Amino acid sequence: MRRIQLLSPRLANQIAAGEVVERPASVVKELLENSIDAGATRIDVEVENGGVRLIRIRDNGSGIPKDDMALSLSRHATSKISALEDLESVASLGFRGEALASISSVSRLTLTSNHEGQDSGWKVFAEGRDMETISSPAPHPIGTTVEVRDLFFNTPARRKFLRTEKTEFGHLEEVVKRLALSHYDVAFTLRHNQRTIHQLRPAKTRVEMERRVATLTNPQLMDNAVVIDMESESSNLRLWGWVGLPTFSRAQTDLQYFYVNGRMVKDRLIAHAVRQAYRDVLYHGRHPAFVLYLELDPAQVDVNVHPTKHEIRFRDGRTVHNFLFSTLNRTLASVRPEDQMPPTA
Ligand code: ADP
Ligand code: MG
């Protein structure tokens, strides 16, 4: 038997990274969530080689105070919660304080940031097995840039699971789309290998929002969807967005976007309620298209279910299910009959 010893900070972070950093797309998700949590209204994403060689995300958010920068790279360091009660009603996308530490343990990460009231920006990165931080002044407008180079260069087992540049970029682009579809007031750009892939201005009016949805999902969706916006005062739930007509059904589940309090989620209860609502108006094996937002009191949702935060748990699942089902069902029942019936084959 070998003696017990404490893992080095880098190794501990690399183990934790196994849970959240699967591929370039997961890095982009974590970094975009940070930018949004920092109140950014403009986020520029630049990647090379599907994100494997480079991911650079620049935002105009609050920035990080100089004295907090080194700490932000260490594990369990977060400005978003400080007590267990905070975890009971998290409104931010992040709260685990792990992303920067995890990512920087499996890549070459540099953080550059400037915070209001400082003379200049600062740059910091972590080095060696103890992940000691090295910082120096660096010009930067108020806001933050995170640069991630050579993802998994030191974790060959992970690197082996990476797919082609095209596939990795596809996943990454999907993450950008999904976040752009839940933060309409934020301008996004996405560049890949020096080419502009998306350039999205902030969308304020409904027309602008619909244009963004059409650009990011399917140009036909807006002509084949009904707008929905329902609130249940008794249970404090609101569902809004666009519900695809049954005639616009799909062979795949590729046009399904569901958000809970601005967070993209995969949830069985939600999937079930939606499926039930469409059941009588869709052919077997066909899938509806929708872009939907459920809003409720953050205290009614547990987001601390899984490190990737894709899963959630509702405190009162039955009420949520009933509300979703009945709202969608009523909406579908009210559309014109010729749109409602599956076309006869
Ligand atoms: P979490 O988001 O769970 O708090 P992270 O490791 O992702 O943990 O980030 C650690 C901390 O670094 C955040 O709590 C925040 O204070 C700061 N931070 C990270 N990215 C940004 C950013 N883009 N703008 C401002 N602050 C940031
Ligand atoms: Mg985070």
38 lines ligand 1 (CB under 6 A): yes
Can you tell me which residue has the tokens 């792990």? Answer: 98
Residue 282 C-alpha to ligand 1 middle, in angstroms? 43
Instruction: Tell the burial category of 149 from Cβ atoms under 10 Å away from its Cβ (0-12, 13-18, 19+).
Output: middle
Beta bridge partners of 110: 147
ipTM for the complex shown: 0.99
144 lines ligand 1 (CB under 6 A): yes
Residue 154 C-alpha to ligand 2 middle, in angstroms? 22
Beta bridge partners of 207: none
Q: Are residues 29 and 176 in the same domain?
A: yes
Q: Are residues 85 and 133 in the same domain?
A: yes
304 vs 87: CA distance, rounded Å: 8
50, part of any domain? yes
182, part of any domain? yes
Q: Are residues 240 and 268 in the same domain?
A: yes
Average pLDDT, the chain: 94
78 lines ligand 1 (CB under 6 A): yes
Whether 342 shows a pLDDT value over 90: the answer reads no
pLDDT-wise least confident of 94-103, 302-311, 312-321, 324-333: 302-311
Tell me which ligand sits closest to the C-alpha of residue 58. 1
Structure confidence at residue 335 as a pLDDT band (50, 70, 90): confident
Residue type, 211: R
- What total number of domains does the chain contain? 2
Closest Cα to atom 20 of ligand 1: 34
Stretch 64-93: mean pLDDT, rounded? 94
143 lines ligand 1 (CB under 6 A): no
241 vs 288: CA distance, rounded Å: 14
Whether 327 shows a pLDDT value over 60: the answer reads yes
CATH code of the domain in which 283 resides: 3.30.230.10
Instruction: Summarize pLDDT for 206-240 with one digit per residue, the tens.
Output: 999 999 999 999 999 999 999 999 999 888 999 99
Whether 338 shows a pLDDT value over 70: the answer reads no
44 lines ligand 1 (CB under 6 A): no
Domain edge (last residue) among 169, 200, 231: 200
Instruction: Give the residue from 69, 80, 9, 15 showing the smallest Cα distance to 298.
Output: 80
- pLDDT at residue 345, rounded to an integer: 45
Q: How many helices (H) and strands (E) does the chain have?
A: 11, 15
Residue 180 C-alpha to ligand 1 middle, in angstroms? 19
Whether 344 shows a pLDDT value over 70: the answer reads no
Can you tell me which residue has the tokens 């799909």? Answer: 250
Does the pTM surpass 0.90? The reply is: yes
CA atoms within 13 A on the CB side of 43: 29
Whether 244 shows a pLDDT value over 70: the answer reads yes
Can you tell me which residue has the tokens 């209860």? Answer: 269
Which CA distances in Å does 9 have to 12, 127, 229, 278? 5, 11, 48, 50
Q: Are residues 17 and 122 in the same domain?
A: yes
Q: Are residues 30 and 140 in the same domain?
A: yes
- pLDDT at residue 215, rounded to an integer: 96
Tell me which ligand sits closest to the C-alpha of residue 36. 1
CATH code of the domain in which 90 resides: 3.30.565.10
Which residues constitute the domain of residue 319?
219-340
- Nearest atom (ligand 1) to Cα of 101: 6
- pLDDT at residue 29, rounded to an integer: 97
166-182: b (≥16 Cβ within 10 Å) or e: eebbebbbbbbbbbbbb
108, part of any domain? yes
Q: Are residues 255 and 324 in the same domain?
A: yes
Q: Are residues 33 and 176 in the same domain?
A: yes
Give, for ligand 1, the residue of 58, 72, 87, 123 to mutate: max count of ligand atoms closer than 8 Å to Cβ: 72
121 lines ligand 1 (CB under 6 A): no
Structure tokens that stand for 21 in this block: 């950093």
Whether 55 shows a pLDDT value over 60: the answer reads yes
Closest Cα to atom 21 of ligand 1: 34
Residue 217 C-alpha to ligand 1 middle, in angstroms? 29
72 lines ligand 1 (CB under 6 A): yes
Instruction: Summarize pLDDT for 252-283 with one digit per residue, the tens.
Output: 999 999 999 999 998 999 999 999 999 989 98
Residue 33 C-alpha to ligand 1 middle, in angstroms? 9
* Percent of the chain scoring above 90 in pLDDT: 90
207, part of any domain? no
Instruction: Give the residue from 136, 141, 149 showing the smallest Cα distance to 53.
Output: 149
Structure tokens that stand for 292 in this block: 């939907």
Closest Cα to atom 19 of ligand 1: 34
CB 342 within 8 A of CB 282: yes
Q: Strand (E) positions, the chain?
A: 42-48, 54-59, 108-114, 122-127, 132-137, 143-149, 187-192, 195-200, 225-232, 237-244, 256-260, 263-264, 290-295, 301-302, 313-314
1, part of any domain? no
256, part of any domain? yes
Tell me which ligand sits closest to the C-alpha of residue 65. 1
Instruction: Summarize pLDDT for 101-118 with one digit per residue, the tens.
Output: 999 999 999 999 999 999
